Amino acid sequence: MGRRKELTEEELKIIKKAISDEEAFEKFFRNCYLKNLRPATIEYYKNEFHGAKKLISKELVECSQKDIEELILQSKKLMKVTTINTRLRALRAFYNYLYKDNLIDNNPMKNIKLLRDRQKTIETLDNKEIELLVKTIRKQKTFIGFRDETILLVFLDTGVRLSELVGIEVDDVRDNKIIIRRTKNLFERVVYLSDTTKEQLKRYITIRGNVETNKLFINHDENELKPHSIQTRFYKYGNEANITKRVSPHTFRHTMAKRMIMAGVDAFTLMTILGHSDMTITKRYVNLWGPDIEQKHKQYGALKGLKL
């Protein structure tokens, strides 16, 4: 009769077979592949899990909220807040999946919030810096130089991400627009070109000619151009032009966003053009350049010119 009572929590834990980190990773990444997450996202998860395990003396599946809190305290001695938050986002995705599928009893990330961080000023290039950069690139008088100038115009005109730019194929260019297929959120979108960029792309495609790869931008060996190569070259151009700001594809994206806002584009349109999943980042752009918008309001306000 004494054995008919319900099992205690401790007894239930003995019966339930605990999952190992290796098994948990296998299931988690299988789910990632089923959801068709980008290879870069999956690699990000792997790197962050590997980094977290170096700072935790137990299996990740055995961690409690207290363990995660200790991880944060240790991490603050070693890395920046943004880096810690990047790791916490990965761990949150991992533990949320395990808890939802009943692979762990408690979610150690349930009450863990991202660390507060100061919002840093986003650097953008002004007209003089853009013109100086173009002038520096044009000094080469080579195919690579002309290609890089074309890439710069596409970045500034469309605000595409680096990963999106290298994914563009020749057939994706349609007159005054480009179809962006390799997007962060997996939703294809269309970006539009000014007449200047449209004509530049036409000339580039003519000079590029027919090669084995379908990718729009190619290297000197006529193979697909890699993201790192683009980053390296623009970093070099920035140094040659004596531009003290960071010269990178992301800086070009920020520059395009600011110029669009200053031209009067609304936040929803900008969100669509940039391919943001929600309005959060777009709103940050608008808020950051508020003083410039204030100046624009003074210049073009609805009551300006009225004799009241």
| DSSP letter for each residue of 32-48 | HHHTT--HHHHHHHHHH
pLDDT in the model for residue 17:
61
CATH class of 127-300: mainly alpha
Residue range 73-82: average pLDDT?
91
Read off the pTM: 0.67
Q: What is the pLDDT of residues 24-51, one digit of tens each?
A: 999 999 999 998 888 888 999 999 999 9
| Cα 296 to Cα 216, 253, 263, 270, distances in angstroms | 38, 21, 9, 18
How confident is residue 282, by pLDDT bands cut at 50, 70 and 90?
confident
- Helix, strand, coil proportions of the chain in percent (round to 5)? 60, 5, 35
Helices 81-100 and 21-34: crossing angle in degrees, nearest 10, is: 90
Nearest CA-CA partner of 124 in 307, 262, 231, 2:
262
pLDDT in the model for residue 221:
92
Q: What is the pLDDT of residues 197-222, one digit of tens each?
A: 999 999 999 999 999 999 999 999 99
Residue range 298-303: average pLDDT?
64
Domain extents in the chain:
18-100, 127-300
- Looking at the predicted structure, is the pLDDT value of residue 172 above 90? yes
pLDDT in the model for residue 264:
78
What mean pLDDT value characterizes the chain?
A: 87
Measured distance between the N- and C-terminal CA atoms of the chain, rounded to whole angstroms: 94
pLDDT in the model for residue 34:
93
Nearest CA-CA partner of 56 in 74, 42, 43, 44:
74
